[in-house]
Amino acid sequence: MIKIHKACTFSILSPLIFSLFLWSHTYAQSPGFGATEGYMSFGVQFNAMNFRGDVYSDFSMTRPGIQVHAMRKLGSRVHARLSLGFGQIFGDDIKASPTSTKYARNLHFRNNLKELTLVGTYDLVNSPSRYYQRAGFTPYILAGLGVVHQNPQAKTQSITGEAGWIDLQAIGTEGQGRPGYDTPYNKMQIVIPLGIGLRWKLSRRWDFAIETSVRLTFTDYLDDVGGNVPDPGDLTSDLAKSLSNRSLEATGAVNGTARNLGALREQYGTTNFQAFDGNTYENLNGLGVGSTRGSRGRDIYFVTGFHFTYILDTGLQCPQIRW
């Protein structure tokens, strides 16, 4: 479950909404005949979220999300929208084909995302004049920029024997922060939203829309996987060692699904490796120290949902934007 302190959410959102209101009233006056009326609107969007990256994920791993937004009409086709969203993405190699390398790797993650975006939307149908004369049906496209706070987690057994979710960035599952390894990845990341939507006018002040968008990122670590398998002797704790290489675990950690280790040993073969700490570890061939743990690329996630928007503040003059 995503936990956000109410005071923190209010302190982030309230000055942003206030800024939009202030901007709106800077232009406040009744539009003349034939002019496009600007307006402020507010809404909520209920989302389904999906991940694409190194760890296996499909539509069965869809997770929920929610956004609230404030929007300002800037012209007969153009809107600016500020959104604050919360949601989760998820992936699990246990769902991959049993003969695939991802299944043998046996990694998984969940990531509770907190996102702030500013996007521009462009309507493919023109809506000049007053707010209540806007088009009844409007396809649109969107693009923008945002920031997301991300913190991938994986499930393990705690010392009490109870399953628990562990923050992965802090323990460096690929040796991050250790000599000879990469620096730890940042929990704050830039995202670029790109998408399309369909909007319907429900009444004079209510709109309904269906929207889908992709979030392009500049990180390969939304799933905590992006480099090579480290030497376990270089890692800082037994917990990091156990979460770094899970290819010989007898079950999938999330649901306790049994894995056929005999078949995996026969398919890949095994090698005993003496690590930097002097201990000997068994590895599946091709999944041991120095092997590729994840590809070097950029993770993305998808946000698909529907939203209701209420037009609250009308009679505003649109800024001078020509399209």
pTM, 2 dp: 0.86
- Helices (H) and strands (E) in the chain — how many of each? 4, 12
Residue 114 three-state SS: strand
Domain spans of the chain, in order of start? 6-32+39-225+297-317
Helices (H), the chain: 6-26, 101-105, 238-244, 261-268
Element (H, E) at 263: helix 261-268
Phi, psi of 317 (to 5 degrees): -80, 135
- Measure the N-to-C terminal CA separation of the chain; round to a whole number of Å: 43
What does the pLDDT look like over 254-267, one tens digit per residue? 988 999 999 999 99
Render pLDDT for 181-205 as a digit per residue (tens, 0 to 9).
Answer: 999 999 999 999 999 999 999 999 9
CA distance 186 to 197: 31
C-alpha 104: how far from its chain's center?
26
Tokens of 190: 């830039």
Closest CA to 117 of 34, 30, 12: 12
Task: List, in sequence order, every residue forming a beta bridge with 46; answer none if it has no partner.
Answer: 66, 306
- Amino acid present at 81: R
Q: Which CATH number fits domain 6-32+39-225+297-317: 3.40.50.300, 2.40.160.20, 3.40.50.740, 2.60.40.1080?
A: 2.40.160.20
pLDDT (tens digit, 9 = 90+) per residue, 211-255?
999 999 999 999 999 999 999 999 989 999 999 999 999 999 998
**Residue owning tokens 């319907």:** 200
